[in-house]
């Protein structure tokens, strides 16, 4: 069983704050790391797929970094807006079978 841990479980911030959260995964046999955004009553939507150590990806105010040697990825949101409120999921692929294993997510609430 591959453990993909996300922290914190939930987070409340004020509009305009910048925030970040963490995804930890096994550092051996890494293949890919995904980030998804999941709004209430909708389905998860992909933000980033990263495959190389040191990868940095950016989409608007959201960016992500990847450290495969130590087994973590950070997701950053700059200047949070209420519409950023969602659950942010990471998913790790690696190990012996390369299946995508999801973390339980970080629930972000941005207060206006």
Partner 1 sequence: DAGVIQSPRHEVTEMGQEVTLRCKPISGHDYLFWYRQTMMRGLELLIYFNNNVPIDDSGMPEDRFSAKMPNASFSTLKIQPSEPRDSAVYFCASSLSQTNEKLFFGSGTQLSVL
Site residues (vs partner 1, CB under 8 A) = 31-32, 34, 36, 42-46, 49, 51, 89, 93, 97-105
Q: How far is the CB of 15 from partner 1 (least distance, A)?
A: 28
Spatial distance between the Cα atoms of 72 and 5, rounded to a whole number of angstroms:
9
Q: How far is the CB of 72 from partner 1 (least distance, A)?
A: 19
* Cβ-based nearer residue to partner 1, 97 or 112: 97
Q: How far is the CB of 17 from partner 1 (least distance, A)?
A: 26
Spatial distance between the Cα atoms of 57 and 47, rounded to a whole number of angstroms:
9
Helix, strand, coil share of the chain (percent; to 5)? 5, 55, 40
């Amino acid at each position: 069983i591959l453990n993909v841990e996300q922290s914190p479980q939930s987070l409340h911030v004020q509009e305009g704050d910048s925030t970040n959260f963490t995804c930890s995964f096994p550092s051996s046999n890494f293949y890919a790391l995904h980030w998804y955004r999941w709004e209430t009553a909708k389905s998860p939507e992909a933000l980033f797929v990263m495959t190389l150590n040191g990868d940095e990806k950016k989409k608007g105010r959201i960016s992500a970094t990847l450290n495969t040697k130590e087994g973590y990825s950070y997701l950053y949101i700059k200047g949070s807006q209420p519409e950023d409120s969602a659950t942010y999921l990471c998913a790790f692929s690696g190990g012996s079978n390369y299946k995508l294993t999801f973390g339980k997510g970080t629930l972000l609430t941005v207060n206006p």
